[in-house]
Structure 1
């Protein structure tokens, strides 16, 4: 097993014996003679078990337990106690320790307790991740729809970093949802009641972008008739989103770097400083490091922005989500246009999945809107000329088409295999074999 174990004891002989025992069992073991050193390494996402002695100088076991549980009240902490410390061990259980082990102990007993403590910690973190994912999908504000592993991993990452006071750099292709991810971070964070201010660096003329960002005092330049608050100051307390950061002029990059480092701005024509409490999120559709290498983007600004990096997967890498996303956008369009959304046929669904979607989510949303407006007719191009198709073998194309047809039929009939057999003209055993081949489970397609 790969569970990490922290052992805390001021007796070197006990540390050495326990380290040898647990290392032989496959645990990742780290030992500490001083509980304060172990505390420095703990955070809420740590996945291991703590084995701590009670009687220690400096910081004793009970004091350590209190401080550790202040970091995460659901840590699995097992206390080691001598015969005379039973009352203290019981007190530690009341405070939140997982269990206590009395010295001398047998190897079998301590291994059993640590195994159960590790399983409990794993369950705590799993439930916490599931809750975060559920909150991410059902909470107020923007939602990141999808059930593929890549989009689930993205949601988990965003929920982990939503309140971390660090700037974020989002990387994603055109139309992949960079603005949505930035808004998701804002509206799931403690800043959600403050302003979310977005600016597209590629959409504002170079002559205007500095005054848009920093604002200006009346008389700062010829056309400045009255004072104007800049976008950065307007975002104070909330989130400032810089889209297409790669388009920002080099001269302005220097000023932005100073803002990020000093957390204050000076409006044009003013000597006053405005202190800032903002989170800055920048987004780029190309690799900024390539621009750095070409001398077209400041290296120091890149590393200042890239404290936390978020990569958005392109739609072609999460094709299992296409049906869900398309139906979601079609439902929104039918509501907006006050009309019924046509039902996708199996062939149309297959074509959706075969398309390469160079425009990503934006292209899919537009296709769903056209589908609704045009009654489902002549919406999808023939996918045979798709760029991606030229890079796959005939066997791969056939397998993908077969899997798509099976998924479409299973969805249409809510996992009822008798109806799927009839629709596709397959014997029962052949259908079962093909479902097993493609990892399809009928229960995944049943209506909840």
Structure 2
């Protein structure tokens, strides 16, 4: 199969070896990087996506001729410039080819300057086409990012920037984030904005696979490899060929599977259970974990060499409690989705409920918030636990009483947090210590959990 050199600008196809050699010398003297072969065999499979070069091909060649090649290339990339070389009797065919989308044709014999001029113009056209595509893809990517990775906070914007920067690159990625923070959403977005977007995205929750089947699920097996293996099975890695495989809860893999995964990542080959054949893989691996893998490695639960192999590029998803600015917009978004799903009117979100949402720590992150929004849309309780919960019964009271209830709940919530002294509580609330002391007495709050120190 033809292998493209990364800097190839012209692919020359001609079965006349002498002409091929002469044209290669012409391109090289002009500073144009060229690859040449005597037929179109293997070209279609080897052609890189978004290749920035042009094809120069004779019309009459053994096997696939120039017109057939033009038609096949148009199916892959209609804007790839193809220049055809014709003999005297092939001019009518060349005119037909121009109508079919060929960039130019040259009739033998032709001057070198004529060929070079046409190729340079074609290269300029190709660069403009690819630049425009990249701009359109970037705009589409920004729109997709905004639709999938929602949020206006600094942390949300930083996350979108990271995803946009890493998506088009071939590097493997390790995603770190708490349960429910959206690790699979980030992984799918990386895939959908990458050149692999038309190939499979295969998601695997390593923690949900039984140890007895995990190797077969991931790597596949041959018929008869073990009891019950009646026929050959293609594993997830092999099925993801050309695309992306997402390994969630990577920390839960057993040591034997970790060894096999390390080898797969190093050599980019997979070996089915019960087979000695190595199958080359062209995949991108995205792994995710909620644990500190280095700590797990220190404790002997995870291989350090596998961690470093996975951690080529890293994305840290911030927990929702660190994205306060995103809580209400996300809740409103999910509530709207739920109302559309159930075809019901969207309820009004009272101010007290907003306070409750902002006062919750969201240990389940975005997943928990989405669940709460769907429950609220259905007229059910939010099902969240927060020190501000007593505000729920204050709706309908006069404003001064609601303000007092809100102030009491905020101070109680801060007292319940881990503080070594009331001085820290006052600093967190940004009020003088004497004011804090007065309000604690006014509202009859319990300060015993705060180091037992009186404000002073």
Q: Aligning the two structures, in what range does the TM-score lie when normalised by the shorter sequence?
A: 0.5 to 0.7
Aligned to 1:200: 205
1:365 to 364, 370, 391: 370
Aligned to 1:292: 297
Aligned to 1:254: 259
Cα distance in 2 for partners of 1:228, 1:388 equals 58
Cα-to-partner distance string for 1:329-354 (whole Å, 9 max, x where unaligned): 11111122222221211121121111
Work out whether residues 200 and 244 of structure 1, in 8 Å CA contact, stay in contact via their aligned partners in 2: yes
Distance 1:154 1:359, change over 3 A: same
Work out whether residues 136 and 155 of structure 1, in 8 Å CA contact, stay in contact via their aligned partners in 2: no
Q: CA deviation at 1:396?
A: 4.0
Aligned to 2:249: 244
**Structure 2 SS opposite 1:333:** helix
Cα distance in 1 for partners of 2:318, 2:308 equals 22
1:172 to 171, 177, 180: 177
Cα-to-partner distance string for 1:352-406 (whole Å, 9 max, x where unaligned): 111111111111011111111225x56554534768952472564588xxxxxxx
Is 1:390 matched with 2:417?
yes
Cα distance in 2 for partners of 1:359, 1:181 equals 17
Cα distance in 1 for partners of 2:212, 2:425 equals 51
- Map 1:213-292 onto structure 2 (within 5 A): 213-292=218-297
Work out whether residues 356 and 388 of structure 1, in 8 Å CA contact, stay in contact via their aligned partners in 2: no
Distance 1:234 1:388, change over 3 A: farther
Q: CA deviation at 1:324?
A: 1.1
Q: CA deviation at 1:182?
A: 0.5
Cα distance in 1 for partners of 2:307, 2:414 equals 33
Question: Structure 2: 5+ residue runs without aligned partners?
Answer: 1-30, 32-51, 53-123, 125-133, 389-411, 419-423, 432-456
Aligned to 1:312: 317
Structure whose CA Rg is larger: 2
**Structure 2 SS opposite 1:199:** strand
**Structure 1 SS opposite 2:273:** coil
Aligned to 1:148: 153
TM-score with structure 2 setting the length: 0.56
Alignment root-mean-square deviation, CA: 3.2
Q: CA deviation at 1:159?
A: 0.7
**Structure 1 SS opposite 2:275:** coil
Q: CA deviation at 1:139?
A: 2.6
**Structure 2 SS opposite 1:202:** helix
TM-score with structure 1 setting the length: 0.57
2:167 to 156, 162, 171: 162
Q: CA deviation at 1:305?
A: 0.3
Q: CA deviation at 1:165?
A: 1.4
Cα distance in 2 for partners of 1:389, 1:186 equals 42
Aligned to 2:306: 301
Cα distance in 1 for partners of 2:359, 2:428 equals 12
